[in-house]
Amino acid sequence: GPRVGVLALQGDVREHLAVLTTLGADAQPVRRPEELAAVEGLVLPGGESSVIDKLARAFGLFDPIRQAITDGMPMYGTCAGLILLADRIDGAIAGQRTFGGIDARVTRNAFGSQTQSFETDLEVPALGSPPVHAVFIRAPAVVEWGPDAEPLASLPDGRVVAIEQGALLGTAFHPESTGETRFHERFLHRVRNRRGAGRVAP
């Protein structure tokens, strides 16, 4: 299977490695630039986006990940990972940055202190049926997006909780913890397609 990485600085790394392995990928934790250079796609896990941001800079991964995004490497971010893929964030901790790549504005901890955690069944037309059983944990929501970003799912209040742009995919919820594999399959499909297409010389 394709060799893919899970950014392994903080967060629910194991769960993603398990899903990707189940789907036949050669999934490896990524903590160093050399490890990033050895994979064809990257998953950004749930966790705490400001901590992952800080650690990415400390481990010398921040600029290489940005470059990989620019180069078109497929990535899939869940929850904190979605925040890290968004160009703009509300509720950032002082100095917090994102890798960016999805032309969208994401609100951190969008569901307030009363309902930091909830579950719902979500229609995701791009994935067909059945609906996705989505678990939100101190989750973000996409509140604004540009013409190149495509919402894949929204809540009844209109806030977007799954979105993609080019090779980048993000969900505000955690499929890796519910046995839902279709988002990871979509990500792996991108990785395989890109491999088949080969690299285009500049």
Kindly report the number of other CB atoms within 10 A of residue 184's CB atom: 23
83 binds ligand GLN (CB under 6 A): yes
What is the chain's percent helix, strand, coil content, to nearest 5? 30, 30, 40
| Binding residue (CB under 6 A) for ligand GLN from 23, 31, 32, 48 | 48
Q: Which is nearer to ligand GLN, 46 or 101 (CB)?
A: 46
Q: Tell me, yes or no, if 189 is annotated catalytic.
A: no
Dist CA 15 CA 29 (whole Å): 11
Q: How far is CA 189 from CA 12, 167, 174, 182, 186, in A?
A: 22, 10, 19, 10, 5
Least separation in angstroms between residue 179's CB and ligand GLN is 17
Least Å from the CB of residue 72 to ligand GLN? 25
What residues numbered 96-155 form the site for ligand GLN, per CB under 6 A? 108-109, 137-138
Reference 64, options 82, 86, 38; nearest CA is: 38
Known binding-site positions: 47-49, 108, 137-138
Could you list the residues that contact ligand GLN (CB under 6 A)? 46-49, 79-80, 83, 108-109, 137-138
